[in-house]
Structure 1
Amino acid sequence: MAGKHSNKTNKGIRFRLGVLILIFAVLSFVIVAGRLLYLQVINTNFYQSKAAENQTKDLIITPMRGSIYDRNMTELAVSATTQEISVSPTNIRTKGLASVEIKRDEKGKAIPATDEEKEAACLKYQQRIAKLLAKYLDLDYDETLKKIQRDQSYVRIARHVDADIADELVQKLSDEKLSGVNTTEDSKRYYKYGNFASQVIGFTNDDGQGLYGLELQYNDVLKGVAGRVVKATNALGSDMPYDYEKYVAAKDGNGVVTTLDEGVQHYLEKHLEEVLAQTSAKKGVCGIVMDIKTGEILAMSTKPDFDLNNPRVIPEEYTSLLNELNNLSGDDYDKKYSEILLNLWRNKALNDTYEPGSTFKVFTVSTALEEGLVNDDSTFTCGGSKRVKDKTIRCWKDGGHGTQVLKDTLANSCNVAMMDIGALIGTDMFRKYFEAYGFMDKAGIDLPGEATGIFFDNMGEVDLATASFGQNFQVTPLQELCMVSAVANDGKLVTPHVVREIVDADGNIQQTMDTQVKRQVISKQISDKMNNYLENVVSQGTGQNAYVAGYRVGGKTATSEKQPKSNKKLRIASFIGLAPMDDPQYAVLVMVDEPQTDNKGGGAVAAPVVARIFEDILPYLGVEAVYSDEEADRQEITVPTLTGQSVDDAKKALDDLGVDYTVKGDGKKVTDQLPVAGISVQPDNKIVLYCGEKKPTDKVKVPDVSGMSVETARAELAQAGLYMKQNGIASWRTSGASAAVQQSPAAGSEAARGSVVTVAFGNNVTSQE
């Protein structure tokens, strides 16, 4: 009985054990099946991508960024083909481990290497590659070695490597039988003229993305579409045969043809640099040249500026900025350095706002004329101030301007007259035209970061009075230029722009930016009248220093206040000029922010700069000079070739030209001359004929003629063996107050004997107009 019971017990145990095993097997199957379902169905995309990631190498092909051109297709920004250098650390490690030296026993049988020996061989292999990369790419060796030792399949080592350097590196690696280093086509941005139009053109980051200026505004046009190379790799990370490769070509970016003119931009920047050096303007200077009929920006610049090829480096010539960093360190240094760079990158013409001052009087007079509130015969009396409610608001001229007709109120830049005219306009009408002239909106230029002006929410009587002469509200220099241009352009307000066309890599036009007329603000009749008034400002009024011989120039001066207004050193001198006034085509604005000079007026500081810009750009743009009889002393004469002629023939040639001369030596023939043939001089200069006597060839120091009269300056330069080209205020308007205000080359520099020094003369017309 006992035996049977034992047998039944064993059977029961085996049965239960079998059931448990079956249950465990079923559960295991369910778990495995569930896991497989999760991996292969539910989360299949994730693991497929992981598998692809481990089995393929995906390389990005950087497209060639489109070029930026001036209006004449001069290249301003281009991209050159370079190479990106990368490494495959896992591949290098595999090769390194396999490079261990094979040792053999006495019978020639290979002795397996130890782990320590393999690691030592790997390290040596990595070090050899790191040394070559550091040498050819000018990198830190230790940092490069760390990158090579990472547990990754791809690590970028360097970008924008010149092709010849990359080729030398690849050849050296091949010679030393080292692998794991890859090269991929890349591109680098180059700016051919350094700091030329830097705030307008802008720059990119290392990845080729636009950060400022046109590079940012037109980034989507310029950047193109990246391509890809997908390569299959084996377990060691090495490339599989070509059959396993997929190639998607990159699409290069389109080019941008700007409205900028390289020549006009050069002249603008030259004269802005000069006025910055002369006035030590604490907050810099800016300028714009615009075609008023089309809105095309021919030139735009802010000084100080920066080198587009090294945008994060403060140029050495700006010592005052560098001096600000001398006594700083740590976070204070970094903060100040960043602040300076951001200021250098700013385009003052459209990123900053200011109180426009007296250039805004063009708005006030044109509005009143358009509404029929005033006419040519309207008179206004200025006693030096005006009481508006509980405020006494002064004119810039102590004692006032007396009684004036409308044209003279603009020529005299009379604040009291403007307040009287503003009162006739009224707040509602004033705001209506303020909006019509575009001040309530951005000018709409195709550049990033354009600021918006600040105007009164609720305009009161005092606000109206001060606004009538351009104070207590804010606009951008570009908005102000557009307003004056609209007045001169038959009353039409146009949208300013800096891009003319989009072109493909072959130069085919893809898109054209046409002129956009926003609206007709005033009638052509009033526009013609205003042009007459603005020309009168230069011929008779506060803008006399903007005179250019042979050309009819108009414009308006301004001396703006800054906060706190009690500080009279905080002023902005500006001038907006128009030419030629028989059919206004070009407008030029120059703004000098906080000039460190005794006379801070727009007529004294900014107007002469605009005159010199017009003097250079108008002939360049094909506008022919027409000299009156009164301007005979400004008409230049090209010195003929006199060397080799008889003295009598040379004298006759100069007499026929109406040029004075002196003879040195007693020879019968001219053996040399000063200045050399082809140089242009004004008739008041004296030609030197050398007849046997040797002409001096040493360089001379340019004397400082600032503050001198025309006659004294010419004599001073002649004494140094130099010739003077006079420009600036009209000769018949010079007086005891007229003096040299600028010269080029600068005083103290060296010049060859016979060189021409251009000297601008001006009157101290006003300091607060």
Structure 2
Amino acid sequence: MAQRRVNKPNKSMRKRLSGLILLVAVAGFAVVGLKLFYMQIVTTNFYQSKAAENQTKDLIITPARGTIYDRNMTPLAVSATTQEISVDPSVIRDRGQKSAPKKETADGKEREPTSAEKTAAMEAYQKKIAALLADKLQLDFDETLEKIQRNVSYVRIARRVDTDIADELMQELDEKKLNGVYTTADSKRYYHYGTFASQVLGFTNDDGEGLYGIELQYNDVLKGIAGRVVKATNALGSDMPYDYEKYVEEQDGDSVVLSIDNGVEHYLEKHLEEARADYQAKKGVCGIVMDIKTGEILAMSTKPDFNLNDPRTIPEEYTSLLAELNNLSGDAYSQKYSEILLRLWRNKSINDTYEPGSTFKVFTVSSSLETGVVKDSDTFVCGGSKVVKDRTIKCWKTTGHGAQSLGETLENSCNVAMMNISAMLGTDMFRKFFSAYGMMEKTGIDLPGEATGIFFDEMGEVDLATASFGQNFQVTPLQELCMVAAACNGGNLVTPHIAKEIVDLQGDDTSKEGQQIIVKQTIEPEVKRQVISRETSDLIRGYLQHVVSRGTGLNAYVAGYRIGGKTATSQKQPKSDNSLRIASFIGVAPMDDPQYAVLVMIDEPQSSIKGGGALAAPVVGRIFEDILPYLGVEAVYSEDETDRQEIPVPVLTGKSLEDAEAKLEELGLKYRVSGDGEKVTDQMPVGGIALQPDNRVVLYCGERKPQDKVEVPNVSGMSLAEARAQLADYRLYMKQNGIADWRMTSASVALTQSPAAGSKVAPGSVITVAFGSRVTSQE
């Protein structure tokens, strides 16, 4: 067989082959070098961070969120220290496998547990921890076990766990030698007063970030800066056996002191809720109390509201809202529920716009006075309507007001007079003052979501006429209040604000006592511009005081105080629907030196009468009656008002009849005697109750006073005499609020009462009845 010849590589071939190998090697090293250069130079930060991520455990330390206080340093929103519970599944797996016991062999020696035995021990270990966590933290066992079995090194189990519960949990885990569960400092937001100023304060999300209101507006101030703990870990995520820990201390948030006054807010909310319920306001009510000299908001509220500690639940008392969910399910139910929550969270005072109606007449008169197109001595005639171009526009009093002075046009809230005045002012000057009064811009209040008004792009004669009495454009309630405030405070447009100070309180307590307060920032009052002169403002104040003393605002009267104000009844679309009305009133007091303004707006009242004078004015009057004494404004009574002041009934039980009669006669209180004894054995009402002079004290001499509770009768719509007689028939006393009897007319009736009709009370109880004018007009 022939042998195959094999050619051996010659020297030239070996040289080429060596060169090729060298070239490939050089190219390979070049690629590797380039890759190393790319990794170590170009993307070094990325790989360093990945290495650190794999070799360390980074725990975030949540800082304490700052406290929100009212102006008197009453805590409104505080953060309490709680604990976050987390697990490291890799540690639990490792400890679980190591918990498997060694087995004894047949020859008496120990052997290591098998893989299956380690797995069984690990699963039992995981279940023990899951069971304990589920029991102590009220969690679902299966969901907790699933988290523990994840192939990661960190899983959050629960947040905002009370420290006592967390301590008890960790102690039991330690006693049972169960590892892999950790606690980290956390915080929980508490709102001490639940629904108090809910739309103003706002609330936070699960991560402690502000979502609404002050919580959102000042989130960066309140939240602080998170801290960190960095620990070295092995490939399984477990702590390394040597010490390595880097600690970056957290910085707690600063606190915010509001201009809100706890007491004033309480009174505002009380009367707004009563108005919402009494008038069945379909779209709710809102109110504001403002210092007109500084722009500080002392109170702001919208009803219905919600509980800040449970903001995603519709309160049970709002049955009309819950009724909207009837017969809904699935996505339709969820969507409607969300819509209702969003309505509850809205701050109507700044988030919503409306046609202001007749409160805007303050703008028309003040602007025209300032420009000189009208004078205080001018007379204006109203025949009930006015023709503007081809359109007949009626006054609310279709029979007309006749001849009126300038001040009387506001007292009567005359639409025809306003149209005549605005025609003299002209569209250019109207726009100029509309802008000067801040109606073309946001007020600048330090709350999120402030809306802007809606005004005419081009203004014709009809637009000017209807705008003169507050129709066919929109502003926010706060814009309208700021306009009236400027007209009454000397002419200065102020920027409203709700925060007074940013502070750092040094100490552990959330109260003022025992802490050092470091003021970091003070929110100073800001005057944007002077819109009208002080002389014009003085005239406007006098006009508005007459609106309350003898005009459409009679129902805002408060004995001892000089209240001014303006009524309004606004239309909504479609304007042909008479049920779609907004009743409002803006009051200012005390008019000799105006300090405070109150706005109340009642959206879509379902009562038969919808005018601002009938509905909103008495609410503002009751708010002033409460807040002015609280704020230290001293009442100055006229002679007639002095005669109506309440007199405290003395304790007469146990005294002789002769002494008791003498004491009552001295105080000017009427009385009658029931029984034939010579000693007072009981009395009605009990000592300490304050009565107005027309009420009569009953002295029981030997007879027993009736003990059974009585049902409060309904006196709504009755005259003063009728209401007093009706209550007396039920052995009840009447406290008269609102219009004084010396100013009563045939149109003056009982508007509201407290306690409500149908309530059960003890004989001799005092029923507060608010009287006002039975206003049937739009005003």
TM-score (norm 1): 0.96
| Deviates further, 587-596 or 95-104 | 95-104
- 3-state SS, counterpart of residue 728 of structure 2: helix
Q: Which residue identity is paired with 1:377?
A: S
Change (3 A) 1:559 1:242: farther
Query: Does the 8 Å CA contact 1:571/1:595 hold for their aligned counterparts?
Result: yes
Question: Which segment is superposed worse, 51-60 or 752-761?
Answer: 752-761
- Cα-to-partner distance string for 1:414-450 (whole Å, 9 max, x where unaligned): 1001100011100111111111111011111111111
Corresponding residue for 1:251?
A: 251
What residue in structure 2 maps to residue 486 of structure 1? 486
**Which residue in 2 is equivalent to 1:591?**
601
The Cα offsets for residues 26-63 of structure 1, whole Å up to 9 and x where unpaired, read as 56555555544444444332222222112211111111
- Assess if the C-alpha contact under 8 Å between 1:604 and 1:767 holds in 2: no
Which residue is 1:413 aligned to?
A: 413
Q: How does 1:169-180 map to 2 (within 5 A)?
A: 169-180=169-180
Q: Does 1:127 find its partner at 2:145?
A: no
Shift of 1:540: 1.1
Output the amino acid matched with 1:95: R
Deviations 1:132-157 (A, max 9, x none): 11111111111111111111111111
1:66-465 to 2 correspondence within 5 Å? 66-240=66-240, 243-465=243-465
C-alpha distance in 1, partners of 2:703/2:105? 97
Residue 698 of structure 2 corresponds to which residue in structure 1?
A: 688
Work out the CA distance in 1 between the residues paired with 2:382 and 2:11: 128
Structure 2 residues not aligned, in runs of 5+: 507-516
CA distance in 2, matches of 1:248, 1:679: 63
- Please tell me whether the aligned partners of residues 397 and 777 of structure 2 are also in contact (alpha carbons under 8 angstroms): no
Q: 1:311 is matched by which residue type in structure 2?
A: P
AA of the residue aligned to 2:476: T
Partner Cα distance (2:308, 2:177) in 1 = 40
Aligned to 2:634, what secondary structure does the other structure show? coil
User: Match of 1:326, SS?
Assistant: coil
Using the alignment, how far apart are the partners of 1:716 and 1:346 within structure 2?
42
2:56 matches 1:56 = yes
**Equivalence for 1:557:** 567
For 1:529 and 1:7, locate their aligned partners in 2 and report how far apart those are by CA, in whole Å. Answer: 124
- Could you list the per-position Cα deviations for residues 123-175 of structure 1 after superposition, in whole angstroms to 9, with x for gaps in the alignment? 11111111111111111111111111111111111111110111111111111
Contact 1:544 1:729 in 2 (8 A): yes
| Equivalent residue, structure 1, for 2:591 | 581
Equivalent pair of 1:634/1:727 in contact (CA under 8 Å)? no
Specify the SS of the correspondent of 2:505.
Answer: coil
Greater mean alpha carbon deviation, residues 728-737 or residues 364-373: 728-737
Letter in 2 for 1:682: Q
CA contact (8 A) 1:603 1:766 kept: no
- Unpaired runs of 5+ residues, structure 1, are none
Identity %: 71
Q: Aligned equivalents of 1:722 and 1:345: distance in 2?
A: 41
Say if 1:128 and 1:11 are closer, same or farther in 2 by CA, change over 3 A: farther
Query: What is the letter of the counterpart of residue 758 of structure 1?
Result: T
Structure 1 CA distance for aligned equivalents of residues 428 and 641 of structure 2? 47
Contact 1:634/1:726 (8 A) holds in 2: no
C-alpha distance in structure 2 between counterparts of 1:412 and 1:486, whole Å: 22
Matched residue type, 2:93: R
Distance 2:410 2:7 in 1: 128
Bigger shift: 3-12 or 553-562? Answer: 3-12
d(CA) in 2 for partners of 1:742 and 1:30?
Answer: 93
SS where residue 565 of structure 1 aligns?
coil
Which deviates further from its counterpart, 662-671 or 280-289? 662-671
Shift of 1:18: 7.3
Which residue is 2:503 aligned to?
A: 503
Q: Which residue in 2 is equivalent to 1:768?
A: 778
Q: Is residue 46 from structure 1 mapped to residue 46 from structure 2 by the alignment?
A: yes
CA offset digits 1:241-274 (Å, max 9, x no partner): 6841111111111111111111111111111101
* Aligned counterpart for 1:643 among listed residues 649, 653, 657: 653
Compute the RMSD of aligned alpha carbons: 2.2
1:742 counterpart residue number: 752
Counterpart of 2:64 in structure 1: which amino acid?
A: M
Q: Quick one: distance in 2 between partners of 1:235 and 1:5?
A: 60
CA drift of 1:451 comes to 0.7
CA distance in 1, matches of 2:724, 2:233: 80
- On the 8 A contact 2:649/2:691 being kept in 1, the answer is yes
The one-letter code of the counterpart of 1:396 is W
Q: 1:402 to 1:123 in 2, by over 3 A?
A: same
The residue number in structure 2 matching 1:731 is 741
Q: Does 1:534 align with 2:544?
A: yes
1:179 alignment partner, SS class: coil
Q: Give the Cα separation in 2 of the matches to 1:742 and 1:675.
A: 22
TM-fit CA distance, 1:701: 2.8
Asked whether the 8 Å contact 2:230–2:246 carries over to 1, the reply is yes
2: CA distance, partners of 1:414 / 1:143:
69
Say if 1:382 and 1:403, in contact at 8 Å, map to a contact too.
yes
Which stretch shifts more, 517-526 or 630-639?
A: 630-639
Range that drifts further, 664-673 or 535-544:
664-673
Task: Give the Cα separation in 1 of the matches to 2:422 and 2:22.
Answer: 102
CA deviation vs aligned residue, 1:553-589 (integer Å, no higher than 9, x gap)? 1100001111111111111100011111111111111
1:719 and 2:729 equivalent?
A: yes
- Tell me how far apart the structure 1 counterparts of residues 123 and 711 of structure 2 sit (CA, whole Å): 65
CA–CA separation in structure 1 for the residues paired with 2:289 and 2:419: 30
Q: What pairs up with 1:651-730 in 2 under 5 angstroms? A: 651-730=661-740
1:622 aligns with 2:632: yes
Task: Work out the CA distance in 2 between the residues paired with 1:586 and 1:39.
Answer: 69
Cα distance in structure 2, aligned partners of 1:11 and 1:411 = 122
In structure 2, distance between residues paired with 1:176 and 1:524: 79
Which SS does the other structure have where 1:508 is aligned? Answer: strand
State the alpha-carbon separation in 2 of the partners of residues 447 and 768 from structure 1: 33
Matched letter for residue 751 of structure 1: V
Provide the rounded CA distance (Å) in 2 between the counterparts of 1:341 and 1:45: 46
Alpha-carbon separation, structure 2, partners of 1:499 and 1:751: 43
Q: What is the identity, as a one-letter code, of the residue corresponding to 1:148?
A: I
Instruction: State the aligned residue count.
Output: 768
Q: Which stretch shifts more, 640-649 or 244-253?
A: 640-649
Query: In the superposition, relative to structure 1, how do residues 314 and 19 fare at CA in structure 2: closer, same or farther (>3 Å)?
Result: same
Superposed CA deviations along residues 681-729 of structure 1, whole A, max 9, x for unmatched, are 2122222333444444544332222112222222332333332211112
Letter of the 2:191 partner, please give it.
Y
- Distance in 2, Cα, partners of 1:14 & 1:293: 102
Cα 1:648/1:108, change in 2 over 3 Å: farther
Which has the larger displacement, 655-664 or 316-325? 655-664
Q: Could you tell me how far apart the structure 2 residues matched to 1:332 and 1:8 are?
A: 88
Pair 1:150–1:697, CA change in 2 (3 A)? farther
SS of 1:308's equivalent in the other structure is coil
Whether contact under 8 Å (2:90, 2:238) holds in the other structure is: no
* Structure 1 Cα separation of the partners of residues 535 and 678 of structure 2: 65
Letter in 1 for 2:454: I
Contact 1:578 1:587 in 2 (8 A): yes
SS at match of 1:424: helix
Tell me how far 1:10 sits from its aligned partner: 10
Q: Do the aligned partners of 1:253 and 1:505 also contact (CA within 8 Å) in 2? A: no
Match of 2:511 in 1: none
